[in-house]
Amino acid sequence: MAILRKLLAAAMTVAACAGAILLMDRLADAFGGETQPARKSTQLEVVRPATGLERLHRKARRGDVGAQYRLGVAYRDGHGTPVDHELAAFYFRQAAEQGDAEAQFSLAMRYYKGEGVSKNMALAHKWFSQAAEQGHERAAAGVEQTLVKTVTVD
């Protein structure tokens, strides 16, 4: 009888683990995560949800402005990924084109400094102006700086 109880307890533990894995997989799907399949069919392992960077990429592809901006910051500053100024400018542009003032300011700074894009005071001025129109305080100073540099260059 004791052996039967131990076998029943072991079977319930295995069933509970399998149920927990299925539950985790469903929760990951419900909250936008992806899971990796187990490496071996005989091996019982916990599936991992996608990393934060993978999630941001997925959301950015769907047009999520916040994810696009955060990816720009991640690539600009090297958070969770190597610094890549071209990718930072790419993601800032995606969010800026959808009207995100912080992304517009950040994209203007890329053009102002020539980081990830060719230095271009006219484009810097354009993006600083759009951000300033939305009340971005630091962008207003950028408008003046780029206006002065654009006028003196021409």
User: Tens digit of pLDDT for each residue in 15-65?
Assistant: 454 444 444 555 444 454 444 443 344 444 444 445 889 999 999 999 999
Under CATH, which number does the domain 52-153 receive?
1.25.40.10
Q: Does pTM top 0.95 for this prediction?
A: no
pLDDT value at 72 more than 90: yes
Six-digit token pair at 46? 């916990």
In this predicted model, what pLDDT tens digit does every residue of 140-154 receive, in sequence order? 788 877 776 655 554
Q: Which residue has the higher pLDDT, 51 or 7?
A: 51
pLDDT of residue 2: 67
Q: How far is CA 111 from CA 22, 32, 40, 58, 69, in A?
A: 48, 34, 49, 26, 16
pLDDT value at 4 more than 50: yes
CA Rg, the chain, in Å? Answer: 25
Whole-number mean pLDDT of the chain?
77
Coil vs helix vs strand at 19? helix
In this predicted model, what pLDDT tens digit does every residue of 88-100 receive, in sequence order? 999 999 999 999 9
Q: What is the DSSP string of 81-137?
A: S---HHHHHHHHHHHHHTT-HHHHHHHHHHHHHTSSS---HHHHHHHHHHHHHTT-H
pLDDT of residue 39: 38
Q: How far is CA 65 from CA 81, 110, 141, in A?
A: 20, 18, 24
pLDDT of residue 119: 95
In this predicted model, what pLDDT tens digit does every residue of 105-145 receive, in sequence order? 999 999 999 999 999 999 999 999 999 999 998 887 888 77
